[in-house]
Structure 1
């Protein structure tokens, strides 16, 4: 790298890291928010990676992009699993049972007895 050339922060590198973290934190919001954030983060990371690959000596912050992308993938997987678990719980026990603790316990007992 030429010493006269200054490096600039890779566009959206900090945002990608923050969104990657948020995709994990929000995976428990029925999975939906985590899925959206995970997908957006992965798309932004791919764009930033392409820009970085054209001229790596010109940019800093690529580590944030890599870390954010990994976190987004983890958040996406956790969110999909949480969403599938929620859909399973609703289809197995019903939405009403998820709103009422006693009814949920009753239906879980019935389900456990049927599946022994």
Structure 2
């Protein structure tokens, strides 16, 4: 599956991973996307930002990415069940999960300014 392939590739490339959990109707999520796009572009080979959407259809999420030009971010869609496994059960968005190069979850943040 695409999400496992992207995560495995980032770990194989020895990249620090930030999972950016978002959904289409989250205005804070969309306001933060340009910063995440820039972070990914400026840190190629060191940091991999992966936008993870567990609420909207992959078609709708991809349409948003295309319309805003977020060309430096990987966008994956997962099920709500898979989404609930990432961190705690709260549904605050955007949510940022920091993943070590070995795959361990290091931290969970809800604030773009904490990056």
Whether the TM-score (by the shorter chain) exceeds 0.5 is: no
Bigger proportion of residues as strand: 2
Bigger radius of gyration, 1 or 2? 1
TM (normalized to structure 2)?
0.28
Bigger proportion of residues as helix: 1
